[in-house]
Structure 1
Amino acid sequence: MTVDEWAAAKRKFPVGSQVAGTVERVAGFGIFVAVEGLDPFGVVADVAGMHKDAADDAVVIWPEVGESVTGVVVEHMENNGKVKIHLT
């Protein structure tokens, strides 16, 4: 990815903006989400922003691969060219 492509991605998806996408992969540290306009840059959903089960606040509900999700951009990760979101 070029510097110009990364700059354009940050302008299109500024911190605080809403995004929608599809879960591509689930990892122990986060969830990779495909968002139109950010491929191949990538979006990582931070697990700290995951929903809790209403019956047991200690249980985190993870979305499944292929599931549609929405989130809020919380960070542009300059070191790896990814956008971090918290799922909503």
Structure 2
Amino acid sequence: MKKAYPFGMFVAVAEFPDVTVTVDAASYAPKGEITSAEQWPPIGSPIEGVVVDHVEHNHQVKLRVE
């Protein structure tokens, strides 16, 4: 995880540095449970997610963490 905000987080993907990767707060639900921002992993921690959307014109990818 690169940055966290109340609405979600930005994630870096080393292989695609020009792509903006986001996880909105409602899409971060490890083990099927939505968590509050206080329970999210610390900045710099790796996360795994599933691509649920992408926007070609602005190089944005949205993830869901299950």
With structure 1 as the length reference, what TM-score do the two structures score?
A: 0.57
CA contact (8 A) 2:52 2:63 kept: yes
Identify the residue that residue 70 of structure 1 maps to in structure 2: 48
For the structure 1 residues 86 and 59, does the alpha-carbon distance in structure 2 shift closer, same or farther, using more than 3 Å as the test? closer
Shift, 1:84, TM fit: 0.3
Identify the residue that residue 15 of structure 1 maps to in structure 2: none
Structure 1 runs (4+) greater than 3 angstroms displaced: none
Identify the residue that residue 87 of structure 1 maps to in structure 2: 65
CA–CA distance in structure 2, aligned partners of residues 76 and 51 of structure 1:
19
**Unmatched 5+ residue regions in structure 2?**
none
Shift, 1:51, TM fit: 2.8
Larger radius of gyration: 1
Q: Higher strand share goes to which structure? A: 1
Please provide the CA RMSD for this pair.
2.4
Q: How many residues are aligned here?
A: 63
With structure 2 as the length reference, what TM-score do the two structures score?
A: 0.73
**Unmatched 5+ residue regions in structure 1?**
1-22
One-letter code aligned to 1:86? R
